[in-house]
Structure 1
Amino acid sequence: MDPFNAIHTAQRRFFDSGKTRPLAFRKARLKQLKKAIKTHEQAILDALGADLHKAPVEAYGSEIGLLYDEIDHTLTNLRQWMRPDPVSSPLMHYPSASRIYAEPKGLTLLIAPWNYPFQLMMAPLIGAIAAGNCAVLKLSEQATHTEKVIRDLITATFEPEYIAVVTGEGQVVIPRLMQHRFDHVFFTGSIPVGKKILEMAAPHLSTVTLELGGKSPCIVDRGAAIRTAARRIIWGKCWNAGQTCIAPDYVLAHTSVLPQLVDEMKAAITRFFGENPAQSPDYPRIINDKRFAQVSAYLQQGKIAAGGQTDAAGRYIAPTILTDVSLDAPVMQEEIFGPVLPVLPFSDLKEAAAVIARNPYPLSLYVFTRSAKTEQFFVDNVPFGGGCVNNTLVHFTNAELPFGGVGFSGMGRYHGRYSFETFSHFKGVMKTGTWIDPKVKYPPFGNKLRLLKMIQK
Structure 2
Amino acid sequence: MDNRNASPSPARWFRVLRRTMTGESHARKSSTSSQYEEILKKSREAFLSGKTKSCPFRLEQLQAMVNLLEQHEMDFVGALEKDMHKPRFETILSEISTVKNEAIFAMNNLEQWMAPEPVQKNMTSFLDRCFVQKEPVGVVLIISGWSLPVQLCLIPMVGAVAAGNAVVLKLPETCSHTADLLQTLLPLYLDNNCYQILSGEHIELLEILEHKFDHVFYIGDHKTGRQVMQAAAKHMTPVSLVLGGKNPCYVDKSCDLKEAAHRIAWARFVNAGQNSLAPEYVLCHMNIRNSLIHELEMCISEFYGKNPQDSQHYGRMASLDQYKRVKDFLSCGQVVLGGQTDEGERYIAPTVLIDVKETDPIMKQEILGPVLPILTVETLEEAIQFINKRDRPLAIYVYSSNSQVISEVMQKTSSGSFCSNDSIVQSLYTRLPCGGVGNSGVGIYGGKYSFDTFSHSRACLLRNTAIECVTYLRYPPYAEKQLHLMQWATSISRTDKWCHIL
TM-score category of the 2 structures, normalised to the smaller one: over 0.9
The 8 Å contact of residues 295 and 338 in structure 1, kept in 2 or not, is answered as yes
Q: How much does 1:168 deviate? A: 2.4
The 8 Å contact of residues 136 and 454 in structure 2, kept in 1 or not, is answered as yes
CA distance in 2, matches of 1:41, 1:55: 13
Q: SS of the residue aligned with 1:270?
A: helix
Q: AA paired with 2:389?
A: R
1:362 counterpart = 2:393: yes
Map of 2:16 onto structure 1 = none
CA distance in 2, matches of 1:418, 1:451: 41
CA distance in 2, matches of 1:449, 1:387: 49
CA distance in 2, matches of 1:271, 1:174: 43
Could you tell me which of 466, 475, 492 is aligned with 1:442? 475
The 8 Å contact of residues 122 and 489 in structure 2, kept in 1 or not, is answered as no
Map of 2:73 onto structure 1 = 41
Map of 1:97 onto structure 2 = 129
Map of 2:14 onto structure 1 = none
1:56 counterpart = 2:78: no
The 8 Å contact of residues 83 and 101 in structure 1, kept in 2 or not, is answered as yes
Q: SS of the residue aligned with 1:344?
A: strand
* Unaligned stretches of 5+ residues in structure 1: none
The 8 Å contact of residues 398 and 419 in structure 2, kept in 1 or not, is answered as yes
Map of 2:495 onto structure 1 = none
Q: How much does 1:196 deviate? A: 0.6
Please give the per-residue CA displacement for 1:32-71, whole angstroms capped at 9, x wherever unaligned: 1111122221111111111111000011111001111111
Map of 1:268 onto structure 2 = 299
Q: How much does 1:453 deviate? A: 3.6
Could you tell me which of 463, 474, 477 is aligned with 1:432? 463
Please give the per-residue CA displacement for 1:257-288, whole angstroms capped at 9, x wherever unaligned: 22211110011001100110000011111112
* Unaligned stretches of 5+ residues in structure 2: 1-30, 492-502
1:204 counterpart = 2:238: no
Q: How much does 1:159 deviate? A: 3.3
Could you tell me which of 370, 373, 376 is aligned with 1:342? 373
CA distance in 1, matches of 2:175, 2:415: 29
The 8 Å contact of residues 104 and 133 in structure 1, kept in 2 or not, is answered as yes
Q: How much does 1:94 deviate? A: 4.4
CA distance in 1, matches of 2:146, 2:463: 52
Q: How much does 1:450 deviate? A: 3.0
Q: SS of the residue aligned with 1:282?
A: coil
CA distance in 1, matches of 2:488, 2:418: 48
Q: How much does 1:4 deviate? A: 1.3
Q: How much does 1:434 deviate? A: 1.2
Could you tell me which of 163, 170, 180 is aligned with 1:138? 170
1:68 counterpart = 2:100: yes
CA distance in 2, matches of 1:84, 1:132: 15
Q: How much does 1:342 deviate? A: 0.4
Could you tell me which of 258, 263, 268 is aligned with 1:237? 268
Map of 1:150 onto structure 2 = 182
1:393 counterpart = 2:427: no
CA distance in 2, matches of 1:449, 1:247: 59
Aligned pairs for 1:4-403 (under 5 A) are: 4-169=36-201, 172-403=203-434
Q: SS of the residue aligned with 1:256?
A: helix
CA distance in 1, matches of 2:368, 2:390: 15
Percentage of identical aligned residues: 36
Q: How much does 1:446 deviate? A: 2.3
Please give the per-residue CA displacement for 1:153-180, whole angstroms capped at 9, x wherever unaligned: 112122332111111237x422222121
Q: AA paired with 1:50?
A: K
Q: AA paired with 2:306?
A: E
Q: AA paired with 2:348?
A: I
Q: How much does 1:254 deviate? A: 2.2
Map of 2:486 onto structure 1 = 452
Please give the per-residue CA displacement for 1:275-318, whole angstroms capped at 9, x wherever unaligned: 10000011111112212111111112111111011111111111
The 8 Å contact of residues 61 and 191 in structure 2, kept in 1 or not, is answered as no
Residues 1:46 and 1:82: Cα distance change in structure 2 (over 3 Å) = same
CA distance in 2, matches of 1:425, 1:42: 38
The 8 Å contact of residues 37 and 153 in structure 1, kept in 2 or not, is answered as no
Q: SS of the residue aligned with 1:257?
A: helix
Q: AA paired with 1:454?
A: W
Q: AA paired with 1:451?
A: L
Q: How much does 1:387 deviate? A: 2.7
Q: SS of the residue aligned with 2:357?
A: coil
CA distance in 2, matches of 1:293, 1:358: 29
CA distance in 2, matches of 1:290, 1:178: 25
CA distance in 2, matches of 1:358, 1:270: 35
Q: SS of the residue aligned with 1:193?
A: helix
CA distance in 2, matches of 1:392, 1:169: 34
Q: AA paired with 2:249?
A: C
The 8 Å contact of residues 246 and 365 in structure 2, kept in 1 or not, is answered as yes
Q: AA paired with 1:444?
A: P
The 8 Å contact of residues 7 and 161 in structure 1, kept in 2 or not, is answered as no
Q: How much does 1:456 deviate? A: 4.5
Please give the per-residue CA displacement for 1:106-132, whole angstroms capped at 9, x wherever unaligned: 100111121111110000110011000
Q: How much does 1:230 deviate? A: 0.3
What is the RMSD of the two structures over their aligned residues, measured on CA atoms? 1.3
The 8 Å contact of residues 187 and 211 in structure 1, kept in 2 or not, is answered as yes
Q: SS of the residue aligned with 1:42?
A: helix
Report the structure number with the largest CA radius of gyration.
Answer: 2
The 8 Å contact of residues 356 and 374 in structure 2, kept in 1 or not, is answered as yes
Q: AA paired with 1:213?
A: G
Q: SS of the residue aligned with 1:195?
A: helix
Q: SS of the residue aligned with 2:213?
A: coil
The 8 Å contact of residues 317 and 323 in structure 2, kept in 1 or not, is answered as yes
Map of 2:24 onto structure 1 = none
